[in-house]
């Protein structure tokens, strides 16, 4: 069934309005400044600076820093895995909630708990994760590096 002239004009008017609305939406989207998908909370520059073992107590500690803006507290978790021989590995982990300062890098020291075996001096894979959130958003950061586990002074 063919459309009558008044019906064609109505369909044409609706199609024109939709085309203009989509064009306007596209323009606004492209012209808007970019913003984080997670709001105004940012976690960055997560780094583990050292892994040390106290030879007397056999307790391992990790020292590092993270930059957090837009949140008052952040979670930091660290896992250290070290190959022992050809088959076995030693694994330790630790976690901590830290209070953050919006304008500075936030240092942390985390005492590790042995999960499997015991860490010793030598190479180890260090993995760290940090996250922070507030009403204004949420963000996280990862760190992975092969580092030297050393004896504490």
pLDDT digits (tens, 9 = 90+) for 80-133: 999 988 778 999 999 999 988 776 789 999 999 999 988 999 999 999 999 998
Please tell me the distance from the alpha carbon of residue 65 to that of residue 107, in angstroms, as a whole number: 4
Please tell me the distance from the alpha carbon of residue 84 to that of residue 98, in angstroms, as a whole number: 32
- Give mean pLDDT, residues 58-83: 93
Q: What are the tens digits of pLDDT across the range 8-44?
A: 666 666 566 555 655 555 444 444 433 444 678 999 9
Please tell me the distance from the alpha carbon of residue 82 to that of residue 110, in angstroms, as a whole number: 18
Provide the token pair at 146. Answer: 């092969």
Q: Is 139 helix (H, G, I), strand (E, B) or coil?
A: strand
């Amino acid at each position: 069934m063919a459309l009558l002239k008044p019906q064609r004009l109505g369909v044409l008017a609706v199609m024109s309005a939709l085309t203009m609305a989509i064009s306007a939406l596209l323009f606004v989207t492209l012209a808007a400044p970019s913003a984080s998908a997670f709001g105004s909370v940012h976690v960055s520059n997560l780094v583990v600076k050292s892994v040390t073992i106290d030879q007397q107590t056999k307790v391992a500690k990790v020292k590092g820093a993270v930059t957090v803006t837009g949140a008052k507290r952040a979670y930091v978790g660290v896992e250290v895995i070290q190959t022992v021989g050809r088959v076995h590995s030693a694994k330790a982990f630790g976690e901590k909630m830290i209070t953050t300062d919006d304008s500075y890098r936030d240092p942390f020291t985390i005492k590790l708990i042995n999960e499997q075996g015991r860490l010793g001096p030598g190479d180890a894979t260090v993995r760290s994760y940090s996250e922070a959130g507030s009403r204004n958003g949420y963000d996280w950061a990862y760190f992975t590096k092969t580092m030297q586990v050393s004896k504490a002074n």
